[in-house]
Amino acid sequence: MHELTLAEIARGLADKSFSSEELTGALLARVKQIDPQINSFISVTEELALGQARAADARRAAGETGALLGAPIAHKDLFCTLGVRTSCGSKMLDNFKAPYDATVVAKLAEAGMVTLGKTNMDEFAMGSANESSHYGAVKNPWNLEHVPGGSSGGSAAAVAARLLPATTGTDTGGSIRQPAALTNLTGLKPTYGRVSRWGMIAYASSLDQGGPLARTAEDCALLLQGMAGFDAKDSTSIDEPVPDYSAALNGSLQGLRIGLPKEYFGAGLDPRIAELVQASVKELEKLGAVVKEISLPNMQHAIPAYYVIAPAEASSNLSRFDGVRFGYRCEEPKDLTDLYKRSRGEGFGAEVQRRIMVGTYALSAGYYDAYYVKAQQIRRLIKNDFMAAFNDVDLILGPTTPNPAWKLGAKSSDPVAAYLEDVYTITANLAGLPGLSMPAGFVDGLPVGVQLLAPYFQEGRLLNVAHRYQQVTDWHTRAPNGF
C-alpha cells in the first residue's frame, strides 16, 4: 500500500479495497521500520492517527465520500497541531505543545485526513539542506550521503521514501520547490494569501506560504483543494474563489505560451540540468505549447534583496521567543537580561542566530534606508519584471535548482554557497507568485526538477501543465533503491 499515490488511495478507499485503519497501520509500521535511516519525522502520532482513521472509516460507512477522507498526511513541524509537539525543528520549542490547530491542519482534518506525525525541518525554516534541525539532519533517500533540500526536507524525504503519499510544507524562498526537485517530487507553492498562514509559526511573514508535496501533480491538486481558501483569522488571506483543481488537470496545452528567461541559463547552472530543462521544453512543445525567450533583468538582485528582507522579518518574528512566556528557558538566570541572553543563545541554533543578527542590523538606525528600504524597492522591480513578462507569456519555465543535491556537510561552513541554491526560487516569493517544481530527470543518479511559474491565482494552470507532462514522462514514477 505504501507505493500508492494519494489519488490511488482515494480510489482504493472508495471501492473498499482496504480501510483507512488498515492503511494507517501499514504506514505507521513502515515509518517505524524505515525512518531511522532518513530521520524525516520529529514526532509520530500513532494514537491520534489510528483514532482519526477509525473515524474516517465510520464516516465512509455512513455514506460520506471525499477524496481525502481517510487518506494519510504528515505536517511540517511548524504547523500548530492541537496537543502535539510543534517544535519548528528547534531546541527553543522542543517542549511546546500547540493549544490549537493551524487552519491548514484543521481544514485537512475536517476533510478526513489522518495525521501520521510531524516532519523534520531546518530550524525555524531557515536553511536549504535540512541540516540545521535540532533533531539532526535529514538524509536524501536517493543517496543517504546527500541532503534532501530544505527547509521542508523532512516532508520531502518522507514522501520520496514512500513512507506516505503526501505531506505539507512551507515555502519562504523555495522551501517546498527545492526539496521537491532534489527528491523527485512535485511541490507547489501557492500564490501568497491562497493558503492560510494562521497557526503556521512565522519565519518571514511577507514571504511564507504553505503548500503540498506529493509524487504527482494530480495529488497536489487534491491536497491544494483541501488547503486553499479564505481565512478570516489570517489578515493576509485573500478572499478569492477556489476552483476545482482536479477538473482542470487534463486541459489542452495547445497554444500555451511558455517563457524561458535568458537569465536562468548563465554561469552557475549545471549544464546537465540545462539539458534536462530543454528536454522538458521539447515534451511540452509536442503537447502544443509555444516557447519563447524572455528576460527578467532584475533577477540578479534577488538573492541580496531576499537575504535582507527575510532575516529582517525573522528578527522581528523571533523576538517573542525570550524565555518568559513559552519555549526554552535557561537555568537559574541571574536577572532579566541574563534570562533573555542565555535563553536565546542556548535555544537558537547557529543559522537562526546568524539570520537574526543580519536582520537586526538591517533594521537598525542608520542602516534601515540603506538596506531594508532598498531591498523592498528591488522587490518591486522584480515583481514588475514578472508582470511585464506575463503580458507576453502564460507561464515561465526554468530549472528549480542550479545543482543536484550536494553531500551532507558540503556547504555547512559556507552559508552563502547554500543561499545561492535558492537563486531560481526566491523570486516567486518576493513577487508572491505561485510556483511548482516537477521531476524532470537525473544527474549522477540524483533527481532534477523543472520549475513553472504562473500569474497570481493560476495554480490550476501550473497543475494542468505538470499533469500533462507527467502523462508523457515517467520521471515522477521512479523510486529510490531500497525504498
Residues designated as active site: 76, 151, 175
Cβ atoms of 126 and 352 closer than 8 Å:
yes
Torsion over CA: 217, 218, 221, 227 (sign): negative
Report the C-alpha gap between 143 and 101 in whole angstroms.
35
Q: Would you say 34 and 161 are in contact if contact means Cβ atoms under 8 Å apart?
A: yes
Residue 169's region, left for phi above 0, alpha for psi from -120 to 50, else beta, is beta
The distance between the two most distant Cα atoms of the chain, rounded to a whole number of Å, is 70
Instruction: Please give the DSSP secondary-structure letter assigned to residue 368.
Output: I
Quote the DSSP letter at residue 381: H
Instruction: Give the residue ranges of DSSP H helices in 249-298.
Output: 271-286
For residue 453, which of 394, 401, 388 has the smallest C-alpha distance?
394
Q: What is the Cα–Cα distance from 169 to 182, expressed in whole angstroms?
A: 15
Joined together, the cell numbers standing for residue 245 give 483543481
Residue 3: CB atoms within 10 A of its CB come to 11
Residue type, 128: S
Q: Return the C-alpha cell found at 481.
A: 533503491
What is the DSSP-derived secondary structure letter of residue 120?
-
Burial tier of 293 (Cβ tally within 10 Å: 0-12, 13-18, 19+)? exposed
d(CA 326, CA 135): 20
Torsion of CA 418, 403, 220, 482, to 10 degrees: -100
Q: Is the peptide bond before 151 cis (omega within 30 degrees of 0)?
A: yes
Q: How far apart are the first and last CA of the chain?
A: 13
**Nine cell digits for residue 264:** 536562468
Alpha-carbon distance of 39 to 51, in angstroms, equals 25
Residue 113 · residue 225 · CB < 8 Å: no
Q: SS3 string of 198-252? A: CCECCCCCCCCCEEEEECCHHHHHHHHHHHECCCCCCCCCCCCCCCCCCCCCCCC
Other Cβ atoms less than 10 A from the Cβ of 442: the count is: 16
**C-alpha span between 75 and 70 (Å, rounded):** 16
How many beta carbons lie within 10 A of that of residue 355, not counting itself?
26
CA proximity to 435, closest of 426, 446, 443: 426
